[in-house]
Amino acid sequence: MHLDDLALPDSAPVRSAHDLARRYLTPSLAAHSVRSWCWAAAFAAQRGLDPDRELLAVAALLHDLGLAEEFDAVGAPYETAGGHVAAVFGAGAGWPASQQQRLVEVIERHNWPEVDPALDVEGHLLEIATGLDISGARADELPRELLAEVLGAHPRGDLARDFGERVADQAERKPQSQAARIVAGGLRSKLADYPLDRVEAEVRARA
C-alpha cells in the first residue's frame, strides 16, 4: 500500500469538500483532515472493510468545521455543529436526506470513545483514523513506509497547538461535551508526545 492508493475519490462533492476545508480551516486542520482520509482509507484496506468512499471522504474533510470560527456553535458540541454544516453541504451537492443525515452521524461519532463497525463502518473508520492522527493510536497496524509517505506529503505543522487550543476552548465552554472528555483524557500530552513525530522528522531529514 502506498500514498497513491489513498487518493481522494475523484468526484465533484469530494473536490468541493476539499476546497471548503482549505477555505475555512487553518492549514494544520486542513492537513489533518486530509491525513484523516488517508488513514481511514488505509485502515479500510488493512481490515477488509468496504465503506462508502465518497461519504467517508467528505466526512473526513469536513469533520472539524465546527472548530472554525465561522461555524462555532454556542451550545452544540463542535462535532455536532460540524456535522450539520456538512449536511447542508450535502444538500447543496444534491445528496438525498438520508445521505445528509449520514454525514451528521459519521462526524458526530468520530469523537465517540469507540464506534462499532457493525453499527457504522464510516464512523468507525473516521474514529480510528482521527485517533491515529491525534494520538498515534493503532499506528502499528499500518506499514511504517506508508506512515512516512503520508506525513511527508501532508505534514502536521502546527496541529498540536492549533487543535489543542481549539478543543480545550470547546471543553471549557461545553463541559458536558466529548471535547471535555477528550481534554480530561490527556489530549494536550498526547499531542505533545505524538509517537510519529520521529517518522516525520526522518522524512524531513531525507528531503
Domains for the chain: give ranges and CATH numbers. 8-206 (1.10.3210)
- What are the C-alpha distances in Å from 169 to residues 82, 154, 164? 16, 26, 9
- The structure's pTM equals 0.94
**Residue 197 has what pLDDT?**
80
114-158 residue pLDDT tens: 999 999 999 999 999 999 999 999 999 999 999 999 999 999 999
With contact defined as beta carbons under 8 Å apart, do 38 and 150 qualify?
Answer: yes
5-54 residue pLDDT tens: 999 999 999 999 999 999 999 999 999 999 999 999 999 999 999 999 99
For residues 80-111, one letter each, b for 16 or more C-beta atoms within 10 angstroms of the residue's C-beta and e for the rest, the string is bbbbbbbbebbeebebeeebbebbbbbbbbbb
